[in-house]
Amino acid sequence: MPELPEMETYRRLLSSRIIDRPLTDVEVGREKSINVPVPVFRETLIGNSITGIERRAKHLLFYLSSGEKLLLHLMLGGWMFYGRPEDKPDRTVQVEVSFGDERLYFIGLRLGYLHLHKEAEVESLLGKLGPEPLSPDFTAERLTGLLSGKRGILKTTLVDQSFLSGIGNCYSDEICFEAGLLPSRTLPTLTGPETRRLSISMQAVLKEAVAYGGYMEDPLYKGDRLTGGYNERCRVYDRKGEPCLRCGRPVIQVELASRKCFYCENCQH
């Protein structure tokens, strides 16, 4: 599912393709995916261009030359394809935006959305997000500070967007594995060294996932060799019964706080 590394991959790859190119057409296949009437959406976008793309947590923010912003959240199973219509995947498209001959297709937006906002609206919408774990000022000391006095379950806390932004079900498990910590650990039991390991593992896992293009089934464009490069690099996520890459014992799957949770009972404590 699209989490920080996947959205960061999309941001990088899309930036070099659509920035400063005029939007020539917009089609809305599912009105619920947007937040204004279709004619308003189309009239606002057509003729505009995108001046920059920013990622905040699992969102992408498209800055329009007119000052408005498009706020994208793919939620579960949402993804994008960029290219010519003849290369379009055989999937239901909720929104498509044309840049001349090439189009950006938004696919699988069920709970996901592409919302149009005025200048200031977005900041209040995103204001409750926690810090970005890959930002340069996010240090082990910062994480220790955030955790101090806090109760709760490790995995639940990692996926809490108001605590940290951008980590979801897949990477919370990957981070716990890398840190050698059980996802079910409660925060007050974490020792200083364990918290430092958690911090190091968090950055290592997320950086590696970004470098390899994240965990995605489909390419962003024809010939895309980056997107989804992390699929084979997941150590525990969706690997139930497969051998742990560290010790060879089968990966365990349980349900934790009504989420799928994968770990190695030998390597994580």
Partner DNA sequence: AGGGCAACCCGGACGC
Partner DNA sequence: TGCGTCCGGGTTGCCC
**Site residues (CB under 7 A) for DNA?**
1, 30, 32, 57-58, 73, 75-77, 91-92, 107-108, 110-111, 150-153, 156-157, 159, 161, 168-170, 186, 257-260
CA distance 61 to 233: 28
Q: Rg of the chain over CA atoms, in angstroms?
A: 20
Report residue 52 CA to chain centroid gap: 18
Nearest distance from C-beta of residue 151 to DNA, angstroms: 4
Instruction: Establish whether 58 is a catalytic residue.
Output: yes
Strand order in the sheet with 59-64: 50-56, 59-64, 69-73, 113-117
Q: Which is nearer to DNA, 139 or 148 (CB)?
A: 148
Query: How near is the Cβ of 100 to DNA at its closest, in Å?
Result: 25
Cβ neighbours of 197 (radius 10 Å): 17
In this complex, which beta carbon is closest to DNA, that of residue 240 or of residue 249? 240
Q: How far apart are CA 82 and CA 88, in angstroms?
A: 8
235 is catalytic: no
- Rounded-to-10 torsion of CA 72, 75, 81, 85: -90
Q: CB of residue 234 vs DNA: minimum separation in angstroms?
A: 13
Q: Closer CB to DNA, residue 23 or residue 73?
A: 73
Residue 145 to residues 148, 149, 150, 153, 208, Cα–Cα distance (Å): 5, 9, 10, 17, 25
> Measured between alpha carbons, how far is residue 234 from residues 74, 198, 263 in Å?
21, 17, 11
Give the residue with the Cβ less far from DNA, 151 or 269.
151
Beta carbon of residue 29, minimum distance to DNA (angstroms, whole number): 8
Copy the structure tokens of residue 244.
């742990």
Nearest distance, CB of residue 216 and DNA, angstroms: 12
2 tagged catalytic: yes
- Please pick, among 88, 197, 259, 260, the residue that the annotation labels catalytic: 259
21: Cβ contacts below 8 Å, ≥ 6 apart: 49, 50, 99, 100
Q: Of 48 and 113, which CB lies nearer to DNA in the complex structure?
A: 113
| Active-site residue, selected from the candidate residues 55, 56, 58, 103 | 58
CB 49 within 8 A of CB 21: yes
Active site residues: 2-3, 58, 259
